Structure 1
Amino acid sequence: MSAITATGWLLRPKVTHLPPPTIANQSRTIKFMHWGGNKDLKLSEPTVLSVDELLKQSPKIKPQVGYNSQRGGLAASSIFGDESTEVAATESSMGAFSTIHIRDPNREHWAWPKRATAREVRRRGRLTKREMLLQTEKEHLAKSHMFKTSVKKLAPIARQIQGKKIEDAIIQMRFSPKGAARDVLGHLYAARNESVVRRKMDPEQTYIEQAWVGRGTYEVEHNHRARGRIDMLKLPYTSITVVLKEQVTRDRIAKEKEDKRLRKKPWEQLPSRPLVGQTQYYRW
């Protein structure tokens, strides 16, 4: 590089600021290696807006769901041309959502009677089979608290007392060698007393129709082993539920089974049926 060229390079004018940008939307498409765009370079003409026009433009506000973003107007011959419709538009918009967000505080007093009355009208006063049985037969369900035992140990006890009278089940639990029998005995006493007080059931005629167990939570305990090791034990909790009914229910079920057996047609070894699909060729 010569000395004159170096001197001109050092003494070149420095650019301290950039030209102000214009408000324009430009789009160009360039073709490179026969891919994309048109043959010629396209530039859209810049759109320059003044400051007053920019201030007059409304901001981009997203309309809320359910509200009308466009506002209507009045005819020139309307007598309400001089009045403002801002209040009316607000009231109509709020009225559309008043039934959604506002709830009747006395709903619990009239909602259930309304549904019950509608059900009676729909059935025309007819009762279901279970409702008719509950009017003549007594039933009591009793669920125990959680026992510190497993389902594997409590399920055989539930199968043992199912179908027995309440007094016979109590005797079975009194002389049972199983550890969970003592907890079940206390629950049977409580279930018998509840059925007498609440349902006015006769303990001499009461029997256990159903008995099942339910799994509960677990309790974590530590089992200390040798050399400082500790095992985490998960001790389960289980509950038992019994359904008590009277002898009247058992007699009705036995009578229904007998009536069903009598209605059944006698068995025939070769019933008389019409023969169809007979041909002179074998089917196998």
Structure 2
Amino acid sequence: MSLNVPSRRLLRGAPALATATPTTTASLLPALQALTLSPNTPSTRPIHTTPSNQWFWNRNKKTDGQASLDQQLAGNQETRKSLVKSLTSRIEGPAIFEDEVRKTAPRTDQEGKHGSQQPADPRSLRGVSMARAHLARAADPDPRSRVRWERKMVMRQVQRGTNPFSREPQAAVIARTERQLTSVSPFLPTSTKKLVMLARQIQGKTVSEALVQMRFSKKKMAQEVRYQLEIARDTAIVARGMGMGGASAAAAAKAKAEAGADGGEVRASSDGKTVEIQTKDGKWIKIDDPTRMYVAEAWVNRGKWRGKRPDYRARGRLNMKMKPKTSISIVLKEEKTRIRQAADREAKKLRQGPWVHLPNRPVTAQRQWYSW
């Protein structure tokens, strides 16, 4: 059995042949053993000693960036962590809410020794200083003048309160003794011409009577007005304490009615619990509870157009119909306000005296001929 192997392959596979020693059978033995080894036995070089890519040089040459990336990925754990951090970090600018998130986040021990006990940032989000001295300079620029003005107001209040000849302004008395509530509804899909009729219908009526009127009304927006009346009534009871009178309120109304004229606009009934007054439009009403709520004022407010729709006409003409929206405002007061107003009107009539259609003065500059 003969082995035919090219001498070039034997020379490349035998490292000992690189010397200048003569070629012998002992020197060729390692190369022959490498050729006869089993496939499972690892060898230092493959059988085909010729590089596989020598015929395609520089075909798939890696770039420097890719080579460095491969080197970093093949490095240790710290190198891989730094690479992942650089790849996942933000490259855009900071978020608009980054300051708020940073302020709301809890402080750690690394940020400060005291953790959450660190003092707050002395500046707000807009860069305004929140220091006490700076805020005092902005809110109280002249403290001496403020102290003088406060001292003057206290002295005036004490003087007017202790002076028997001083008189409290009527507006202050009304604001101190009477209650009211103003309620504004959201904009409703209707026009002012339609809603103003309902506003006029509930003016001057008690809340219960106005609710009955809106309940049985045929108008579409009557139910919306009824809902707004209920909201205003509940808010007045909870927030202002209106409509919660009792025997004390009835006794006060009786005393006020007896102080007025018997034949005027305020009359006290025989039972002593009901007061009869005449309203501004001439109607007589009976009041048994001075804290009963009534609709003192009601008006409508025009809003912006909520839309428009085309109205196709003859001969190719087109009109645009605008869709309006309107809100209603309601002012609720107690019956003690109407009692006071009726008493004020009666007192004004008594002060004015009888009405005379012509002035009572002598006639002068008379002559027997005409002056024109």
TM-score range, shorter chain: 0.5 to 0.7
Task: Call closer, same or farther: CA 1:177–1:110 in 2, change over 3 Å.
Answer: farther
1:167 aligns with 2:208: yes
Match in the other structure for 1:211: 298
Moved over 6 A (4+): 118-124, 226-230
* CA 1:161–1:269: 2 relative to 1, 3 Å: closer
What stretches of structure 1 of length at least 5 have no aligned partner?
1-103
Partner residue, 2:131: none
How do 1:53-64 and structure 2 match up within 5 A?
none
Distance in 1 (alpha carbons) for counterparts of 2:346 and 2:226: 35
Contact in 2 for aligned 1:220/1:235 (Cα 8 Å): yes
Which whole-Å CA distance do the structure 1 matches of 2:362 and 2:343 have between them?
Answer: 36
- Equivalent residue, structure 1, for 2:354: 266
Aligned residues: 181
TM-superposed CA distance for 1:229, in Å, is 8.0
Alignment of 1:227-266 (within 5 A): 232-266=320-354
Taking structure 1 as the reference length, what is the TM-score of the superposition? 0.55
In 2, Cα distance between equivalents of 1:110 and 1:139: 37
Structure-2 separation of matches of 1:121 and 1:261:
38
**1:138 and 2:179 matched:** yes
Partner Cα distance (2:350, 2:140) in 1 = 51
For structure 2, the 5+ residue unaligned runs are: 1-133, 161-166, 245-290
Whole-Å separation in 2 of the counterparts to 1:201 and 1:114: 37
Matched AA of 2:334: E
SS at match of 1:218: coil
Q: CA deviation at 1:222?
A: 3.2
Following superposition of structure 1 onto structure 2, how do residues 25-174 of structure 1 map, counting pairs within 5 Å?
A: 105-106=135-136, 107-108=138-139, 114=146, 117=150, 125=160, 127-174=168-215
In 1, Cα distance between equivalents of 2:293 and 2:190: 27
- What is the identity, as a one-letter code, of the residue corresponding to 1:282? Y
Q: CA deviation at 1:119?
A: 6.3
How far the C-alpha of 1:217 sits from its partner, in A, is 1.0
Give the alignment of 1:157-196 within 5 angstroms: 157-196=198-237
| The one of 239, 259, 270 aligned to 1:198 | 239
Q: What is the match of residue 106 of structure 2?
A: none
Match of 1:85 in 2: none
Shift in alpha-carbon separation, 1:280–1:147, aligned structure 2, 3 A: same
- Distance in 2, matches of 1:128 and 1:137, equals 14
Alpha-carbon displacement from aligned partner over 1:139-172 (angstroms, at most 9, x marks no partner): 1111111001000000111111000001110110
Per the normalisation by structure 2, the TM-score is: 0.43
Give 3-state SS (helix, strand or coil) of 1:282's partner.
coil
Shift of 1:266: 2.0
User: Against the structure 1 CA distance between its residues 231 and 273, is the aligned structure 2 distance closer, same or farther, given a 3 Å change threshold?
Assistant: closer
Q: Equivalents in 2 of 1:200, 1:147: separation in Å?
A: 29
Q: Choose 1 or 2 for highest CA Rg.
A: 2
